[in-house]
Amino acid sequence: MVKEGLYTSSENSNPEVVAVKMLKDNARESDLSDLLAELEILKKINKAPHPNVIRFIGGCSLEGKLLVVTELCPGGNLQKFLRNNRVDYANITSTLNQRQLLKMAVEVASGMVHLSSQKFVHRDLAARNILLGEDNVAKVSDFGLARDIGNAEEY
């Protein structure tokens, strides 16, 4: 489950609204290992940040629960965005245009190229795993199935 939180750092005393990912109370042990693996992947990916990959802020535990903190993307996920802005072919109306769609596609591709250059494979790229930041900038997220292939000969 993902909730909003406030984050302040020693470098910036202004609180930043962030996304806080945590497990539900009824989570299984395998869910915890998956979240720990995602935390490790996010730490590695964010050694070389990219504007089209979700920004990892940190991880911690609170009252025995693991928390993964990332930037908050106010636009939600791409799947919901596309559903809410679907073209009505009967009236030929839409709030989206081809330029906006192409911009988002290029941003997703740019994020994926960056992940590949850092030797990571996402393995679950879908509109539900693309978040929209400020000005609807597309950001690849949800690295629960991602793999570090840095030591692999090929993938």
Q: What is the pLDDT along the chain (155 residues), one digit of tens a residue?
A: 899 988 888 787 888 899 999 988 888 988 888 899 999 999 999 999 999 999 999 999 888 889 999 999 999 999 999 998 876 666 666 667 888 999 999 999 999 999 999 999 999 999 999 999 999 999 999 998 888 888 766 55
Count structural domains, the chain: 1
CATH of the domain at 60: 1.10.510.10
pTM of the model: 0.87
Catalytic residue among 34, 124, 135, 148: 124
CB-based burial, 83-114: b 16+ in 10 Å, e otherwise: eeeeeeeeeeeeeeeeeeeeebeebbebbbeb
Q: Is residue 6 part of a domain?
A: yes
Residue indicated by tokens 């090929």: 154
Q: Is residue 42 part of a domain?
A: yes
What is the Cα–Cα distance from 74 to 4, expressed in whole angstroms? 10
Q: For residue 131, which amino acid is it?
A: L
The question of whether 135 is a catalytic residue gets the answer no
Helix (H, G, I), strand (E, B) or coil at 110: helix
